[in-house]
Amino acid sequence: MIYYYEFWGKRTIINLIQTLYSVPTVLVGLFLFLLISQQGPFGFLKLLFTPTGMIIGQVLLILPLLIGFTITALVGVSTQIKELAISLGASTYQTIITIIKEARYAIMSAVILGFGRAISEVGVAILIGGNIRGFTRTFTTAISLETSRGNLVLSIALGFILLSLSLIINFLLNYLQGKD
């Protein structure tokens, strides 16, 4: 766990993770496209224009957010909690679990941010999924397609559905946090 242990290069790794927060989604899509296209080193896996390829792209996109904000959440936990757990005889594993429990609401916020980035993403979805109707089309790629076709009513309707989905997920996660 990058938070718990001190090691050479830790600050550099954290800075790299934080830099990846703002990488344009189309750049992540292009990078993955180059890796999994027929000419790429992983072309034999045939992941291009598949839901699996899209999932890999989404994971690559949101992982830096989840890791970075989770580290920030854990750093926000008082060092007294860690020291208390250790002084009471907690193992390293038990201490880490205690710290995670203390940071759970901030970690949940990191999950919400990651979900928000994934659900609003277009670049990876189009480059890796190809926007194939009935197979790899997502809400965001459908909105983009319908807007380019001039079908604004459908685009707006899809946007409201996407917004409603986000709102429901957010309420659910807040409920799980014990907030209202």
Read off the pLDDT of residues 148-165 as tens digits, 9 standing for 90 and up: 999 999 999 999 999 999
Is the predicted pLDDT of residue 180 greater than 60, yes or no? no
Q: Count structural domains, the chain.
A: 1
Residue at 99 is within a domain: yes
Q: How far apart are CA 176 and CA 180, in angstroms?
A: 10
CA distance 43 to 50: 12
Confirm whether 66 is domain-assigned.
Answer: yes
pLDDT digits (tens, 9 = 90+) for 126-143: 999 999 999 999 999 999
- Amino acid at site 80: Q
DSSP secondary structure code for residue 40 in this structure: S
CB contact at 8 A, 8 and 105: no
Tokens of 38: 């027929």
CA–CA gap between residue 51 and residue 135 (Å, rounded): 7
For 17-44, what is each residue's pLDDT tens digit?
A: 999 998 999 999 999 999 999 999 999 9
| 59 falls within a domain | yes
Q: Which domain holds residue 78?
A: 10-130
Residues 6+ apart with CB under 8 A from 72: 106, 110
What is the CATH classification number for the domain harbouring 28? 1.10.3720.10
The pTM (predicted TM-score) of the whole model is 0.86
Tokens of 115: 């979900």
DSSP 103: T
For residue range 46-67, what is the model confidence (pLDDT) as tens digits?
999 999 999 999 999 999 999 9
